[in-house]
Amino acid sequence: MDLGTMMQQIAIWTIPVLFAITVHEVAHGWVARQLGDPTAWMMGRLTLNPVKHIDPVGTILVPLVLLLLGGFVFGWAKPVPVNYRNLHNPRRDMALVAVAGPTANLLMALGWAVIMKLGLLLVPYSQWVGLPLVYMGQAGIAINVILMVLNLLPVPPLDGGRVLAGLVPPRLGDLLDRIEPWGLFILVALLATGILGMMLGPPYQFLMHLIHRMFGLPL
């Protein structure tokens, strides 16, 4: 990839990536506040200012490297703090807080689909306006779908692991909580063996095709 192409890719992906991970975390904190825990709000984390949420590795380094390698682009922000003791019903509410992030990503994917559709309608009249909207919308759909699918994997500390912990009997939930410190190592092992790609590929492709069909977008 030459320098010009690389800079174009970075320009296209920067805004979708920042929005995807920022709104994902804000959604966790917002739902937690509605359910009794104001911790994220008190710490100033219920803001769309990406500076408050940026993790140097997960927000910048990992997405940039993956973009340059031409693979799935995803990343993460600093997790918003949630004190489960403040929640009205800790086990149930932690599951609701967890599922809020992937839900936000789904809604953002649909929003970016609207932007891409608008760009396609504008291209015949102004490519300078239409094409950036098309490319950015396409990137926005992709990053939000992959973040949603990845985070719904039932592996702690991903959101899917916390949702599962809130649904299973308490004894199994406690077991999942004990697995959480090893979650990153599990994900790295799945990635290194290619299993992660096999797990994410089918739901990712299904959702991408579904969203593109819903809005009449080219794949």
Least trusted range by pLDDT, from 17-26, 75-84, 157-166: 75-84
Number of domains in the chain: 1
Chain centroid to CA 8: 22
Residue 162: give the domain boundaries: 3-215
What span, in angstroms and rounded, lies between the C-alpha atoms of 56 and 125?
40
Catalytic residues: 25
pLDDT of residue 99: 96
DSSP conformation class of 73: -
Tokens of 55: 């993790």
Tokens of 123: 């291209």
Chain segment 89-135, per-residue pLDDT in tens: 988 999 999 999 999 999 999 999 999 999 999 999 999 999 999 99
What span, in angstroms and rounded, lies between the C-alpha atoms of 64 and 31?
30
